[in-house]
Chains A and B, each alone.
Chain A
Amino acid sequence: MSGLWTDEERALLDAMLNCLIPANPERRIPAAGDLGVADFLAQRLRREVELGSAIKTLLNGAPAHADAMTPQAVTALENEFPAEFRALLSVTYMGYYSRPDIRALVGVGSHPVHPEGYEVESESEALLDGLTAPVRERGRNYRDTGPIRKS
C-alpha cells in the first residue's frame, strides 16, 4: 500500500510490529511486521484518522533506522506515548489474528466457523452418569420455598 508512508517509515513500522508480535521460528510462526500487518493498518487508516496520527507520532519518536528498533526502543515509545502506543497495539493484534493462517498456527481452525464449525463429541450417558453421580449422591443443594401467601 503506497503513499501513506515513505520506504523508511514503512521499514520502521515493520520493525516495530516485529517487536510487538515476534516470530516463533521453531514453529514457523511469522512476526507481525514480516506478515504484512502494516497493510492491514493502512486499510484501517482510511476509516480511522486518529490511528493514522497515532502511528505518525510513534514513527516520529522512533529511532532513525529500523535496525535500532529494539524492544527497548519500543518500550521507550510505549512510555512516552502511551495512548498512541495502545491504539497501535490493539490494531496490530487485530490485523495479525484476523489472518486465518495465523489462527491455524495457534491451534484454531482457519476456516470461517460457520457453516462447518467443529466436531465435538458428546459425552455418553454412562460417562455423564459417572461424572454426576457424586453430585447426585450429596442430594439437594437449594432452599425451597412455600407458595406466596396472598394478603
Chain B
Amino acid sequence: MTEVVIAGIGQTPVGEHWNLSLRELTLMAIEAVQQDSVGLQPQALFVGNMLAARLSRQAHLGTLVADFAGLTGIEAVTIEAAGASGGAALRAGFTSVLSGQADVAMVVGIEKFTDQIGTSVEESLGTLSDSDYEAAQGLTSAAQAALLMRRYMHEFDAPREAFGGFPLTAHANGVGNPNAMFRKAIKAELYNRAGMVSEPLNMFDVAPNADGAAALILTRPELLPPEFPHPLVRISGSSIVTDTLALHDRPDPLSFHAARLSVERACKQAGITPQQIDLFELWDSYSIYAALSLEAAGYAVRGQGWQLARNGRISLGGELPVSTMGGLKARGNPGGASGVYQVVEAVLQLRGQAGNNQITGAKRAMVQCLGGPASTAATHVLETVS
C-alpha cells in the first residue's frame, strides 16, 4: 500500500496582522514549510481558503500563491469548504500524491480576516451558510451555535457552566504555543461572568476570527533524500463527508451526522477505532461544537459530550487530550487555514516537538475540521512512521 507522509510543516503566528497582506502572510508559511522540508519542490499546490474573494476582494488564490512564492508553472487551485477548507485542501493534496499525479504536493491554508471590519465580516460569513434561508433571516454563525447550545441544554439538562471546560482547556494549552493568539490561562469564574455573545453563548464559547497561514509538504517516503532531518508522519486515514447545508433541514440538528461518518470512514481506512488515538484536534469554533464533535466521534453518548470537559479528562494529561496547542479558541480561528494549523500541531505532537505541551509517547492523532455546523466534516488520522 502506497504511503503518503507529511515531510514538512510551517505556520505563522495567528493574530491580527494589519501590516501583512494576504500574499505576504501566505509566503511566510510557505518559506517556513520549505525550510522544514529541506527544499522538496512541489508539482501541485492546494490552497485552502474560505473568504478571500469577499474579505480581500481576491479570488484565484491557487495562481496568486504559486506566482508570489516563485512556483509559477506548477498545478495550483483553491479549495473551499467553509471552515473545512483546510482539511479539504489536505485531502486534495493527499489524493494527488497517493495517486501518483504528483510526487510532492504543497497544502496551504490561508485566511485574512482583518482586511475588513464591522458588519461586512458577518455578512461575508453568512455566505457560507444557506444564503436564501439562513443568512437572509439575519442568522449569524454564532447565533446558530447558540440555537444548538440552548436546545442541547434543554434536552439533556446540561448546565451552561459545564461548557467552560472547553475554553479553559484550550486556553491552558495555548500558553505553551508560541504561535497562539491567546497565551493566558483563564479561570472558571472568568468564564462564568463573561459577557453574552448570543445567549446562552458567551464570549469564551466563541473562537476568535483571526489572520493566519499554515502549510504542509506531502510526499511518498521512497522519494525522500536519505538522512531526512526529522521523524515522518504518515496520513493513514482521510475522509470528507457532507450533511445538509442548512441546519434546519436536518431531522436531528443535535447530531453532527457528517462528523460521525467522517470519523468512521477515516478510522476504517486507518484500520483503527477512535479509541486507539493519543490526541484529538477537534473543531472548537464554539464550545457546543466541541461537545457535539466528541459525541459524533463516539467518545461520549448523545447528550453527554459536555461531561468530558470536566475534571481534566480532555487536558494534556487526561484520557483524551484535545486542542493540544490551544485549539481554535486560544490559537485563534483563521477560517480556511485552521484545518491546516490543526495538522501542523498534530505533527508537532507526533514528532515529539510540542515542547511543554508534548503528549508523552504520542503515536497517533485524529484531526477534524468542520464547515458550518458540520455541514462539511473533514477527518484525518495521522501516525508516526516506525
Physical interaction between A and B: no
